[in-house]
């Protein structure tokens, strides 16, 4: 068991230093998941497993498919009702294209801006 822990710790140490930037290969993810399930079944807390392996709690919960106790799952988006899709005159969006050498183009439609970029690009 100690060798398994060391193996996981070494593999995790080779990943990005920031827990938020780590990308776990599928084989390591499976190994962490199996080890975590065994340890939790033996009475170890998720937090203790995370500390032992240097894995973030949200990551381990994601691997295990469990929710953190403090998380209350609910709707992630608020319901909205569209009242009007027409903007009043004062709220009309003005499109401005800024380019090199103080180039400024105003008043074009989205299609005209796209055409402008196509004509100025190297691919035209």
Q: Write down the domain spans for the chain.
A: 2-64, 92-120
pLDDT digits (tens, 9 = 90+) for 22-68: 889 999 999 999 999 999 999 999 999 999 998 988 889 989 988 76
Question: What Å distances lie between residue 60 and 7, 21, 35, 72, CA to CA?
Answer: 17, 15, 11, 17
Phi–psi pair at 51, nearest 5 degrees: -65, -40
**CATH numeric code, 2-64:** 1.10.10
Q: Which residues contact 55 (CB under 8 A, 6 or more apart)?
A: 12, 19, 32, 49
pLDDT tens digits, residue range 93-114?
Answer: 678 888 777 778 888 888 888 8
* 59-53-51 Cα angle (round to 5): 85
């Amino acid at each position: 068991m100690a060798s398994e822990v060391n193996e996981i710790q070494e593999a995790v140490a080779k990943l990005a230093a920031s827990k938020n930037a780590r990308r776990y290969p599928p084989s390591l993810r499976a190994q962490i998941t199996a080890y975590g399930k065994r340890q939790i079944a033996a009475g170890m807390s998720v937090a203790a497993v995370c500390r032992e392996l240097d894995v973030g709690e949200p990551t381990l919960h994601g691997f295990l498919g469990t929710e953190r106790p403090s998380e209350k799952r609910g709707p992630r988006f608020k319901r909205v009702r569209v009242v009007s899709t027409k903007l009043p005159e004062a709220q009309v969006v003005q499109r401005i294209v800024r380019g090199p050498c103080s180039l400024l183009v105003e008043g074009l439609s989205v299609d005209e801006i796209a055409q402008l970029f196509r004509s100025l690009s190297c691919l035209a």
